[in-house]
Homo-oligomer: A and B are copies of this chain.
Amino acid sequence: MKRTIDVCLTPNLIEQHDLAGKVVLVTDVFRATSCMVAGLATGVKSITPVLEVDECLKLQAQGYLAGGERHAKMIEGFDLDNSPFSYMDEKAKGKDIAMTTTNGTFAINKAKGKADEILVASFSNLTPTAKYLQSIDKDVLVICAGWKGRPGLEDILFAGALVKKLSETHKNEEDSTHLATAAYDDAEDDMVAYLQRASHLKRLKSLAGDDIPYCLIKDQFDVVVHLVGDKLLLKN
């Protein structure tokens, strides 16, 4: 019997899904999970996703670096913004980071304690993540972080790419998986151009230029990232 893969289009639909016994994978391509993967793959010690700015500042007082954004902008008193380049910077190496973002950390916290395992992933570690999922005998649920509870196209493209990677091993029988793979089929050849064509979309207009093409590059890092307690760590 094949395992299954399902896609939750926004964290606000998480109640439609039974997470028990599953591996939940959270993706927030622009930009939280792209930051997390890039940082951990290049020497960050751990990343603790938290919901509130205050929690980040408390951890900062204990020696963590504070990173993240509100409304796509850096937060006052923080050490790092929400660009993957910041998480690969020299000053982040070897550090524990506390991170809060509008959508990505919200999605991770929604899943916490309910699933067997929580992964975060982005295009930058698509293939290693897919291989890991194929190596274990569990159903998969992809949670697209979206934007303030609404669907985000780039996260749905990632979900579509993953569903396709797992098509030999994981059944996909839900309408949301079909929407995701159909969108990815359209976008696959040139995701940057695809999103540029969709640039009349209000939300995409506000995003920083360099990060967009960077976050769409596949398989830069041969790592899998998972949540252990409160911390995101590389999986051995």
Contacts and interface: CB of A to CB of B under 8 A. Distances in A.
Interface in A149-189: 149-153, 156, 171-176, 178-179, 182-183, 186
Contacts of A175: 146-147, 150-153, 156, 198, 201, 203
Contacts of A13: 10, 12-13, 149-150
A62 interface: no
Contacts of A147: 175
A174 B202 contact: yes
A118 to B, nearest CB: 21
A236 to B, nearest CB: 36
Interface in A16-62: 16
Nearest to A180: B179
Given A178-B198, A198-B178, A201-B178, A16 B9 contact: no
A178 B201 CA distance: 8
Nearest to A153: B175
Interface size class of A (residues with CB under 8 A): 20 to 34
Contacts of A151: 9, 175-176, 179
Q: Which of A152, A178, A186 has the most CB of B within 10 A?
A: A178
Nearest to A185: B186
A132 B117 CA distance: 50
Contacts of A91: none
Interface string A196-208: 0010111100000
29 contacts: A9-B9, A12-B12, A12-B13, A12-B15, A12-B16, A13-B13, A13-B149, A15-B149, A16-B149, A16-B150, A147-B175, A150-B174, A150-B175, A151-B175, A152-B175, A153-B178, A156-B175, A156-B179, A171-B200, A172-B200, A173-B200, A173-B202, A175-B201, A175-B203, A178-B198, A179-B179, A182-B183, A182-B186, A186-B186
9 A-B pairs with the lowest CB-CB distances in the bound complex, closest first: A173-B202, A153-B175, A16-B149, A151-B175, A16-B150, A178-B198, A151-B176, A173-B201, A152-B175
